[in-house]
Structures are given as structure tokens and as C-alpha cells.
């Protein structure tokens, strides 16, 4: 049996809690383990604290905290608990940082306007993670092939009681994973289950990833999924005229690029005439610039793109990187955007989201909302039970409902053409 090392263990717990309070590295390759350990701690601190306390009781009964070293270990562990409690209180208090940006851009009455487009909610109780919650909304026949390749698979999330002849709003969810994973399971489950409860249809896709595949295969698949939705989603009760798009990390990049390149034949080989427009985009902690080498972690990021994703040097293929950068594809007729980013993101530093939002606001005639969430790490919306995941789902649903209500109002106010007498 290994010898107990209470002091070493307590120091590790304290270090992990401190990393959850504030990332211990924000530049270069150390950000990867900092994120890997700090992300679960920063979003599920009550579970960590409960587990640590239960284990401390077990070790105390065993005698691990006897003697001077043991008492120091117990003190360090107690400090770690205090930090975990601080993390949780921060999470609970973060709701205004999701709501206030919406109010600032959309107006004080944005929630009342959004309510006009919201459908009744069928409330479920309890928390059911991953595959259990997926099976609640995705029927066996709801996993479809949206393109010709084996990887072109999608899950259609919908309430079982949703009418097939209805016109439910639709959201395309593009998974993240550094353009190298792209798996639809289990990303954005809190958001999609929340929207499905409110009568939405969500389409979550797989797409081609690197290094096996090369850019622009990734965005081509996203565009192909949009084309499939426009043609087939009515069969599932969805409205092909109201399709929004979202995604986190690499999915934030792909969703924003798709929204800014509607019907662009460059990314629609073989289906150039297909409608790939969206009514709104919600990129979350995304990458928006594939060109600049200035800023924290930028050199490592460009090296990764050149070696694994684009597989071409940026110096001799600059236009490829420009065309792949949402920040270089800004347009006045862009759809409404809701951009979210965490201040403590150690994978994609917050200036990336902030600068993209500022640049888009200068160009777009549509609303551009930017929410910067204090103390939030990368992937802050991933876990069930995380307050930030709950607030994210609520804010996105409210924003998209506002877009829908506004479009309906504008359509109702639009004068109809007079009928000529024959």
C-alpha cells in the first residue's frame, strides 16, 4: 500500500483551486494543461469541494492529519475549499454579465420583445448528463446523413410532442475541438436541451477534421449542413426560413465564418446555388483571426494551423488565411451577432473576441452584442449544473427569440403589394 502523502496532496488541491480562481498561465503551450485542470474546477467547484471534503473525512479517520505535517495539510486543504467556494459564488453572480450586454444593444424592453416569440416550455426536473439527455430529444430516426461522406452525420434535437407540420425555429450547432475533433457528442447539450424544451429544433453535426482532412473541408461541411437544413428541416417540423447558427471555440470560428459568407461559392463546391444564409449567429469563445501573429499564443496557433489544418505556410498563402478569418470577412449586411467570451480564457485569450466584436460593430447594420464573462475559462458553457452554462443557454435563447420577434414585427409592418384589377 502506498504511503499517504497528505502535504503533497493538499498542495496539489490548493494549486488546482488557485488555477480555477485564476489561470496560472496565459501564454504558450502551458495554457493547455492549465485549461485542462482549471476548466472543470472553475465550472463544477461544488462537486469538487464535496468530493474533497468526503475524502478528507476518510483520510482523517485513517490518521493522515496527525502531527505537524498533517495539520499543515489540513490547513492547506481548508484554504482550497475556501477558494472553491469563491469560484462558485463568482459563477452564481455572473448572470448580469450575460443580460446587461443584451439590454445595452437591444434596448430595455428586449426581454418583453423576446417573450412574444417564445413558445411554452415543457419543464423537466433533475439533471441528466450526456447520453441520457440526448436520448430524450434525439430519436433513432433523428440521426441523419446531411452530406455524401460518412462523417456527414447530424443529430436532430426536438421535443417528442413537437408537431411535424409546425414551423419551429432552428439552430445549427457546430462543435469545437481545434478543427481536429469536431464531434457532435457531447457538446452544447445544456443549450440544445434548453432550446428543445422551448420548442426549438437543434441540429448538431459532425464534420471533417484535421490532420486527416485539410482546410477548407471543415467549413464546406458546415455549409453543406446549412443547405441540407434549408431543404429538409420542414420534414421534422422546422422552419427553413429561420435558421440560426452557433458553436464554441473552433465551432465559434466556423459558425461566424459561415454567417459572414452566406452563399459564397468559394466554400460551396458542387452546391454553389444552395441557400446557406442564417438569420443570426452566436459564436462562443471563438477564433476569428487566422492571420495576425501579434498577441498571446498567436505564434503557436499559427504554427498549428500551418502544420495540421491548412498545411500551407502563411507567408506564401496569405489569402487562404485571410479568407478563413471572420475578422477579414466583415460585411454591412451581416446577420445579428451575439458574441460571448470568458475573461480568463487561457486557450483563446479574450482580446480575440473583444476585437472581433468591435470590428463587426463598425461595419454591420445589424445588432452586434458582445458579452465578456468575468472569471470564465474556455468552454464555460459545457457542463450541466454549471451556473454559467445555464445563464448562457438562457441568454442565447432570449437573443434568438428577440431576433425572431423583430423579424415577425418587420414582416407584419411591411406593406403588401396592391392587387391590380383585371
Is residue 341 among the annotated active site residues? no
Whether residues 28 and 150 share a domain: the answer is no
What does each of the 422 residues of the chain score in pLDDT, given as a tens digit? 566 688 898 999 999 999 999 998 877 778 889 998 888 899 989 988 999 999 899 988 988 888 888 899 999 999 999 999 999 999 999 999 999 999 999 999 999 999 988 776 655 444 445 667 788 888 877 899 999 999 999 999 999 889 988 899 999 999 999 999 888 888 899 999 999 999 999 999 999 999 999 999 999 999 999 999 999 999 999 999 999 999 999 999 999 999 999 999 999 999 999 999 999 999 999 999 999 998 888 999 999 999 999 999 999 999 999 999 999 999 999 999 999 999 999 999 999 999 999 999 999 999 999 999 999 999 999 888 899 999 999 999 999 999 999 998 887 776 655 544 43
The answer to the question of residue 422 being in a domain is: no
The reported pLDDT for the residue numbered 415 is 67
The answer to the question of residue 417 being in a domain is: no
* 95-112 residue pLDDT tens: 999 999 999 999 999 999
Q: Does an H or E element contain 389, and which? A: helix 387-413
The C-alpha atoms of residue 266 and residue 379 are separated, in whole angstroms, by 30
The answer to the question of residue 419 being in a domain is: no
Is residue 249 among the annotated active site residues? yes
Whether residues 28 and 99 share a domain: the answer is no
The reported pLDDT for the residue numbered 116 is 86
Is residue 378 among the annotated active site residues? yes
Q: Does an H or E element contain 400, and which? A: helix 387-413
| pTM of this structure | 0.93
The answer to the question of residue 1 being in a domain is: no
Boundary-marking domain end, from 92, 123, 156: 92
Q: 328, 378, 386, 390: which one is catalytic?
A: 378
The secondary structure of 103-160 as a DSSP string is HHHH-TTHHHHHHTTPPP-----S---HHHHHHHH--GGGEEE-SSSTT-EEEEE--T
The answer to the question of residue 416 being in a domain is: no
The answer to the question of residue 356 being in a domain is: yes
Whether residues 74 and 99 share a domain: the answer is no
Whether residues 281 and 389 share a domain: the answer is yes
Whether residues 44 and 152 share a domain: the answer is no
Q: 204, 249, 256, 346: which one is catalytic?
A: 249
Neighbour tally for 99: CB within 10 Å: 16
Cell numbers that stand for 221 in this block: 461541411
Neighbour tally for 124: CB within 10 Å: 11
The reported pLDDT for the residue numbered 416 is 59
Whether residues 239 and 163 share a domain: the answer is yes
Q: Which of 79, 59, 90 is nearest to 15 (CA)?
A: 79
The reported pLDDT for the residue numbered 125 is 40
Domain that holds residue 137: 95-411
Whether residues 166 and 292 share a domain: the answer is yes
The reported pLDDT for the residue numbered 418 is 55
Cell numbers that stand for 339 in this block: 458574441
Boundary-marking domain end, from 72, 92, 112: 92
Whether residues 323 and 390 share a domain: the answer is yes
Boundary-marking domain end, from 46, 73, 92: 92
Whether residues 59 and 85 share a domain: the answer is yes
The answer to the question of residue 260 being in a domain is: yes
Q: 194, 345, 364, 401: which one is catalytic?
A: 345
Whether residues 23 and 134 share a domain: the answer is no
**CATH of residue 358:** 3.40.50.1820
Whether residues 69 and 111 share a domain: the answer is no
The answer to the question of residue 142 being in a domain is: yes
* 243-271 residue pLDDT tens: 999 999 999 999 999 999 999 999 999 99
Q: Which of 300, 374, 368, 379 is nearest to 336 (CA)?
A: 368
The reported pLDDT for the residue numbered 131 is 66
- Contact criterion met (CB below 8 Å) for 284 and 340: yes
Whether residues 145 and 81 share a domain: the answer is no
How many folded domains does the chain comprise?
2
Amino acid at each position: 500500500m502506498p504511503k499517504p502523502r497528505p502535504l503533497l496532496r493538499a498542495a496539489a488541491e490548493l494549486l488546482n483551486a488557485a488555477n480555477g480562481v485564476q489561470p496560472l498561465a496565459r501564454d504558450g503551450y502551458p495554457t493547455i494543461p492549465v485549461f485542462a485542470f482549471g476548466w472543470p474546477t472553475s465550472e463544477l467547484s461544488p462537486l469538487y469541494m464535496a468530493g474533497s471534503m468526503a475524502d478528507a473525512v476518510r483520510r482523517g479517520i485513517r490518521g493522515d492529519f496527525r502531527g505537524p505535517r498533517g495539520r499543515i495539510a489540513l490547513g492547506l486543504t481548508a484554504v482550497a475549499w475556501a477558494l472553491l467556494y469563491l469560484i462558485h459564488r463568482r459563477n452564481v453572480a455572473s448572470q448580469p454579465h450575460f443580460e446587461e450586454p443584451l439590454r445595452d444593444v437591444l434596448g430595455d424592453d428586449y426581454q418583453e420583445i423576446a417573450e412574444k416569440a417564445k413558445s411554452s416550455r415543457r419543464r423537466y426536473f433533475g439533471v441528466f448528463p450526456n447520453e441520457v439527455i440526448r436520448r430524450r430529444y434525439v430519436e433513432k430516426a433523428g440521426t441523419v446523413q446531411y452530406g455524401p461522406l460518412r462523417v456527414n452525420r447530424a443529430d436532430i434535437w426536438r421535443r417528442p410532442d413537437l408537431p411535424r407540420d409546425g414551423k419551429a425555429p432552428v439552430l445549427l450547432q457546430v462543435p469545437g475541438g481545434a478543427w481536429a475533433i469536431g464531434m457532435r457528442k457531447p457538446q452544447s447539450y445544456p443549450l440544445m436541451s434548453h432550446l428543445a424544451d422551448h420548442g426549438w429544433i437543434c441540429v448538431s453535426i459532425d464534420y471533417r477534421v484535421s490532420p486527416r482532412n485539410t482546410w477548407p473541408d471543415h467549413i464546406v461541411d458546415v455549409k453543406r449542413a446549412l443547405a441540407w437544413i434549408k431543404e429538409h428541416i420542414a420534414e421534422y417540423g422546422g422552419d427553413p426560413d429561420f435558421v440560426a447558427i452557433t458553436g464554441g471555440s473552433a465551432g465559434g470560428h466556423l459558425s461566424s465564418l459561415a454567417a459572414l459568407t452566406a452563399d459564397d461559392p468559394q466554400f460551396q463546391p458542387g452546391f454553389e446555388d444552395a441557400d446557406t444564409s442564417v438569420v443570426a449567429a452566436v459564436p462562443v469563445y471563438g477564433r476569428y483571426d487566422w492571420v495576425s501573429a501579434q498577441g498571446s499564443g498567436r505564434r503557436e496557433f499559427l504554427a498549428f494551423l500551418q502544420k495540421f489544418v491548412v498545411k500551407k505556410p502563411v507567408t506564401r498563402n496569405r489569402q487562404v488565411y485571410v479568407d478563413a478569418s471572420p475578422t477579414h470577412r466583415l460585411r454591412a449586411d451581416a446577420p445579428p451577432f451575439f458574441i460571448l467570451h470568458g475573461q480568463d480564457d487561457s486557450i483563446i485569450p479574450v482580446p480575440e473576441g473583444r476585437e472581433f466584436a468591435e470590428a463587426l460593430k463598425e461595419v454591420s447594420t445589424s445588432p452586434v452584442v458582445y458579452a465578456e464573462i468575468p472569471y470564465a475559462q474556455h468552454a464555460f458553457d459545457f457542463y450541466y449544473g454549471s451556473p454559467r452554462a445555464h445563464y448562457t443557454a438562457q441568454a442565447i435563447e432570449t437573443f434568438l427569440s428577440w431576433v425572431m420577434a423583430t423579424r415577425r414585427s418587420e414582416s407584419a409592418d411591411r406593406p403588401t403589394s396592391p392587387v391590380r384589377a383585371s
